[in-house]
A = this chain, B = another copy of it.
Amino acid sequence: MNTEKTELIANWETLQRIFIRPENDAARTVLVKYMEQILFGLHDFLKAHVGITREASLEALSEQFKESRMGWHPDKKLADVIRGVIETIAPHAVNVASPYFVGHMTSAIPFFMVHLQTIVAALNQNPVKLETSKVVSILERQILAKIHRMIYRRDDGFYDTHIQNPDSTLGVFVADGTVANLTALWVARNTFFSPKEGFEGVEAEGMAAACQAFGYDRCVILVSRLGHYSLRKAGGVLGIGNANVIPIDADSQNRLDLRHLKSTIRALNGDARKTKILAVVGVAGTTETGTVDPLPEIARICRDNAIHFHADAAWGGPTLMSRKYSGLLKGIEQADSVTIDGHKQFYMPMGCGMIYFRDPHMADAIAYHAAYVIRPGSVDLGIRSLEGSRAANSLILGSALEVMGAGGYALLIDHGIDTARAFAEEIRRRPLFELMSPPRLNILTYRLFPEPLRHACETGDPRTRKAALEQADQINILVQRLQREAGNSFVSRTTLKRPGHEDAAVLRAVIMNPLTDIRILREILDEQEEIYRNHPEG
């Protein structure tokens, strides 16, 4: 055992010192120096690398992380930990900040977000209750009102009434979009199966008793089959059953098919199993294709049928800040609840989900009071949220809105959509490629579809056609994998289901990094063409 290491912290004097921020300049300078390494040492490394390197290295990497014993003595000084992250972790992490990383909804964030996250950690407030957050809870209410207003555009009087009223809930900060969607459906479930004569409500008595009390065999949620899998998961968690999260067909433009929605509602209303439709979900920015469901029409159908209308705008929500493109989300202001993710197009650090409610009293259906911390009528924000303790992410979002302005965000949104459209044109221009879903927002899918396969599909018999499509799938799977392993750029891959067509393996691009421009996207296509030329058989 190294005695020097023992002295690092595992003695009382050293231990106390790490809780007292140092008073002398030398120690302060060291701590600031560490921040410099974190900000720039990491960056300098990442600049030289991108993406996941070699697939094969995964197993080798795993071998280095197999020690399961917790050491008794300190093993590293902070300086060594930071160096270790830069030299050992960063090289094998994923450089999501690269403009060539266009495969997922995780991307570069402005550097000031790192500072804001540092502030949140340094303050260490806990908005679950006022006694551990005070002004931060009040600030959180303000930020929630700003985003609510972005969505619902109610008047000054509305916001004056609710913004700082502890009995109102305009929205809630949650862990992520999954918890936001879950919260929306939780509210919908409890609102319908509410207490009545002889029944204390579904929250108290559970789903079996609720169905019995209301005379239903089951309840269901309707969502486009392009909806995020978190909605199915929410159905499972809530005791509704994920098989009762019923997929509605998408049309040729990957939007929820209204005719199928209406016929499904009709069928369910006439079902032999007495069925309650708890909610219809409209997606504003589907994960796979970035498309937006016909929100105004869904809103009308929900109104006519007294169904909760939830809009999953985890991805697309911030589009509302764009003067050019906010119209794409028309109808969202009619949703009873709306999910938006902060770590997506608000460019915040992981993970910040939010859920908003049209009716400021709707979230009362999920309120919990604990005698020892949370008292009715208090400003304790933990009353109406799934989680208890959590970070003060509102401080990040609120500050980011000040630094960027809605106008700054609008530039990012516009750049993403404009660049995605230019990318789509480029794909259309290249004979090797087929655009599979044009970008409605800033996401598109495409595939390599070489002329011989295209020809075989158009003119061949069913068997020839099937073989050609299978080969196309193989080519796209291979090209995506080899490009990822080469480590210069990254697009993701998914399986696209299209009405009237076979499922297809496609490449997926998400354009959110402002440094991703059409030149870079052309390079990505060039590389894919080259990989294909070297492996034309797939």
Q: Are B372 and A111 in contact (CB under 8 A)?
A: no
Which of A34, A124, A126, A209: most chain B CB closer than 10 A? A124
A133 within 8 A of B: yes
Query: Among the listed B15, B109, B174, B216, which residue makes an inter-chain contact with A412, where contact means beta carbons less than 8 Å apart?
Result: B15
A20 within 8 A of B: yes
Query: Among the listed B67, B74, B405, which residue makes an inter-chain contact with A71, where contact means beta carbons less than 8 Å apart?
Result: B405
Q: How far is the CA of A407 from the CA of B131 in the complex (A)?
A: 32
A3 within 8 A of B: no
Mark out the residues of chain A between 55 and 76 whose CB falls within 8 Å of any chain B CB in the assembled complex. 58, 61-63, 65-76
- Per-residue contact bits, chain A 152-185, to B (CB 8 Å; 1 contact, 0 not): 0000100110011000000000111111001000
**12 contacting pairs across A/B (C-beta < 8 A):** A15-B514, A19-B97, A19-B514, A39-B118, A74-B404, A78-B112, A104-B131, A106-B132, A126-B351, A177-B389, A179-B387, A208-B216
Assess A121 versus B125: contact at CB under 8 Å? Given A72-B407, A92-B135, A179-B387: no
Least Cβ distance of A10 to chain B in Å?
A: 4
Q: How far is the CA of A294 from the CA of B372 in the complex (A)?
A: 23
Query: Among the listed B9, B244, B379, which residue makes an inter-chain contact with A205, where contact means beta carbons less than 8 Å apart?
Result: B244
Assess A40 versus B21: contact at CB under 8 Å? Given A106-B126, A407-B73, A407-B74: yes
A110 within 8 A of B: yes
Assess A238 versus B237: contact at CB under 8 Å? Given A104-B131, A207-B207, A395-B85: yes
Range of interface residues on A (Cβ < 8 Å): 35 or more
Assess A386 versus B515: contact at CB under 8 Å? Given A61-B138, A68-B142, A78-B112: no
A343 within 8 A of B: yes
A513 within 8 A of B: yes
Which of A96, A387, A395: most chain B CB closer than 10 A? A387
Least Cβ distance of A104 to chain B in Å?
A: 5
Q: How far is the CA of A39 from the CA of B30 in the complex (A)?
A: 12
Q: Are A123 and B244 in contact (CB under 8 A)?
A: no
Q: How many copies does the complex hold?
A: 2
Which of A92, A121, A321, A411: most chain B CB closer than 10 A? A121
A520 within 8 A of B: no
Q: Which residues of the other chain, B, contact A121 by a CB distance below 8 angstroms?
A: 109, 113-114, 117-118, 349
Q: Which residues of the other chain, B, contact A174 by a CB distance below 8 angstroms?
A: 175
Q: Are B131 and A241 in contact (CB under 8 A)?
A: no
A233 within 8 A of B: yes
Q: Are B9 and A21 in contact (CB under 8 A)?
A: no
Q: Are B164 and A407 in contact (CB under 8 A)?
A: no
Query: Among the listed B82, B103, B182, which residue makes an inter-chain contact with A119, where contact means beta carbons less than 8 Å apart?
Result: B82
Q: How far is the CA of A72 from the CA of B237 in the complex (A)?
A: 40
Q: Kindly specify which of A248-256, A295-303, A461-469, A487-495 makes contact with the partner chain.
A: A487-495
Q: Which residues of the other chain, B, contact A366 by a CB distance below 8 angstroms?
A: 236
Query: Among the listed B106, B118, B389, B404, which residue makes an inter-chain contact with A350, where contact means beta carbons less than 8 Å apart?
Result: B389
Assess A52 versus B368: contact at CB under 8 Å? Given A20-B515, A403-B76: no
A26 within 8 A of B: no
Q: How far is the CA of A403 from the CA of B18 in the complex (A)?
A: 11
Contacts A117-B117, A351-B387 known; 16 new A-B pairs at CB < 8 A: A10-B408, A18-B110, A18-B111, A18-B112, A58-B379, A62-B138, A65-B138, A68-B163, A71-B402, A74-B405, A126-B350, A175-B175, A205-B218, A207-B241, A350-B389, A350-B390
